[in-house]
Chain A
Amino acid sequence: MMLQMKRLLPPIIMLFLLLLAWEVIVIVAKIPSYILPGPSAVFSILIQDGGSLYRALMVTLRICFSALALASLSAFSLAFLFAQSRLVERAFFPFAVILQVTPIIAIAPFLLIYLPTSDLAVIVCAAIVAFFPILANTLHGLISVDRGHLDLFRLYRASPWQILWKLRLPTALPEIMTGLRIAGGLSLIGAVAAEFVAGSAGVGSGLAWRLLEAGYRLEIPRMFAALFLLAATGVAIFGLSSLLSWLVLRRWHETPR
């Protein structure tokens, strides 16, 4: 616990000092809040007028986690399939790469046209962004089995299913966790990018739209408040995925810290 506190303290102190410096500069230079609001103005928006922002945050979170679930499910399934057959991997992996390298901003308009709802299009967009790191990491983990372990399983006549379940999957766990950590942040980025492109207003809109909306209205403190919530969400997702990784690997793996 003390160790955790020691590790958390430096970034917290640094953040506090940066916010303090920002506030002092804004006050001393008398910068109007429609140009650059101080942190106090941003936090007062979050406290006094945060209702619509928090509702939008929930929408973004729902999109983000739905996308992460969709990306995980499809990436795990494909990785397991690829790990069983080099031929299937060679046939399909290039398409996964194409999906990864094509900018999501360019894909999003197509999804908005072809998918039945913009909500679904936004989820699929975010899932596409999050998909590749999970696929690449899981596949690499599944095929990077120690040769000695594989010999051991073959010696004891393990079935392909036993090799997959009892050897390949545990071997791949550290890399799966790395993939999930990267994909968690990317699903948020994908969700925000897709919301920008979808541009759907109303009660069902997410934080990205609220940020754009505040920009159109020149409500700069509100823009910063939305940005702060997005950044905090990203940090929370990273923290959650790191916690999951630690819980899964802490007993036997060297890396979790």
Chain B
Amino acid sequence: MSNTPVELHNVGKVYANGIAALTDIQLHLNPAEIVAVVGPSGCGKSTLLRLIAGLEAPTTGRIAFTSTASAIGYIFQEPTLLPWATVEENIALPLKLKVPYGGEALTVAKALSMVDMTEFAGVYPRELSGGMKMRTAMARALVTNPKLLLLDEPFAAIDEIARFQLDDRLIALWQHRQFAAVFVTHSIFEAVYLAHRVVVMSKRPGRIIGEAVVEAAYPRSINFRTTQEYLACCAEVTELLRQEVS
């Protein structure tokens, strides 16, 4: 097996109620690669992440990991912070549970500083803005120093400006920690901005119908969003999706 953090071989998922969510998914992730997944609503993008995370079992196929010592980081659609715990306690949660992180975990202080939340360490989630909650969730996902980060439309409910900032922060964190990531999003523009590769899925049952490679170097700045390369890539992904929807 290669150095691939995760490989999905012919993975399919049919729920107990008979709904087929995914079929014949083939996906190989390279180390430190960001793969964005886009597709029509209900095509099984979130299911794909849940399968990789081990929160659901595939009905068919196989999911293989090369790195077992490091936990998977997961950022959900909602920040899922524990309301009774402070920012610091929320970030420390994975370290207090059974998660195996091979002694490579960051300190909570380091994770806090990575997302600029040090001064809010003792604050409860209800006192934070949406963006700050999501930054806390990012720190929590990264505190175990995972080799694979899964992100399920994490910035969907956040306003455009804060979303741009979070995109840039995610790239900065990736440059620093060099994790592989699967980023599920509804936004083609966000997918192209963040990813090395944008994978396009079909309607349910979801399967991969194409992918677009984004060659642009990191770090990508706001200027990248207005380049021909960016717009061409967005158009390519849009065309793939348009064919699927029509």
Contacts and interface: CB of A to CB of B under 8 A. Distances in A.
Nearest to A163: B97
Interface in A143-157: 146, 148-149, 151-157
B54 A155 contact: yes
A155 B98 contact: no
Nearest to B80: A148
Given A151-B80, A155-B55, A156-B97, 10 more contacts: A148-B77, A151-B53, A153-B97, A154-B55, A155-B71, A156-B93, A158-B97, A170-B82, A251-B84, A253-B83
A228 B109 CA distance: 57
A216 interface: no
B120 to A, nearest CB: 14
Q: Interface size for chain A: under 10, 10 to 19, 20 to 34, or 35 or more residues?
A: 20 to 34
Contact of A252 (B55, B72, B84): B84
Nearest to A249: B84
Contacts of A253: 83-84
B99 interface: yes
B55 A156 contact: no
Given A155-B53, A252-B124, A146 B97 contact: no
Contact of B76 (A148, A173, A254): A148
Contacts of A252: 83-85, 124-126
A151 B79 CA distance: 12
B55 A159 contact: no
Contacts of A251: 84, 124
A156 B80 contact: no
A153 B82 CA distance: 11
Contact of A157 (B93, B98, B124): B98
Nearest to A146: B80
A149 B80 contact: yes
A162 interface: yes
Interface of B: 50, 53-55, 71-72, 74, 76-78, 80, 82-85, 93-94, 96-100, 124-126
A159 B99 CA distance: 10
Given A155-B55, A155-B74, A252-B124, A162 B80 contact: no
Nearest to A157: B98
Given A148-B76, A251-B124, A252-B126, A159 B82 contact: no
B94 A156 contact: yes
B214 to A, nearest CB: 28
A148 B97 contact: no
Given A148-B76, A252-B83, A156 B71 contact: yes
Q: Which 7 pairs across A and B sit closest by C-beta, in order of nearness?
A: A148-B80, A156-B97, A156-B99, A157-B98, A170-B84, A158-B97, A252-B84
B82 A151 contact: no
Contacts of B97: 153, 156-158, 162, 166
Contacts of A149: 80, 82
A149 B137 CA distance: 12
Contacts of A148: 76-78, 80
Contacts of B96: 166
B84 A151 contact: no
A173 B84 CA distance: 10
A109 B94 CA distance: 54
A158 B95 CA distance: 11
B54 A156 contact: no
- The winner among B71, B84, B126 for most chain A CB atoms within 10 A is B84
A162 B76 contact: no
